[in-house]
Amino acid sequence: MGDAEILFIRPCEPLRSYVRYYYILNSVRGFNVLTFPIGCTQLIFHKGTPLFIPELNSSQSMFTISGQVNFSAHVSSCGYAAGWTFGVMDCISKVLSGHFG
């Protein structure tokens, strides 16, 4: 992935029922990497060059909500990229079933 750095952070105990992980991506150069489905909705915040997804022929906006996907995809950037992602658990099913923790 070149000069890209990814830092995974586990949420504090009270949030673990709702947030699976946080991760921070930083890169000063372009990169192209194959990603795989992770099984949860993601809230994605970009600072810098938005990530491009060739399989969808689209770029992510500064704020993106990504639902559960069932295919692998490449993400690429042609310059400075930094972003924060939150992997959100399936809160809707927890609300419907009355399970919050």
Q: What is the per-residue pLDDT across 32-79, written as a single tens digit (0 to 9) for each?
A: 888 887 777 777 887 777 788 889 898 888 877 777 778 888 888 877
CA distance linking residue 14 with residue 1, whole number of Å: 33
If pLDDT is split at 50, 70 and 90, which confidence band does 22 have?
A: confident
> Mean pLDDT, the chain, as a whole number?
75
Of residues 83 and 78, more confidence is placed in 78
Q: Which of 15, 8, 18 is nearest to 89 (CA)?
A: 18
pLDDT at 57: 92
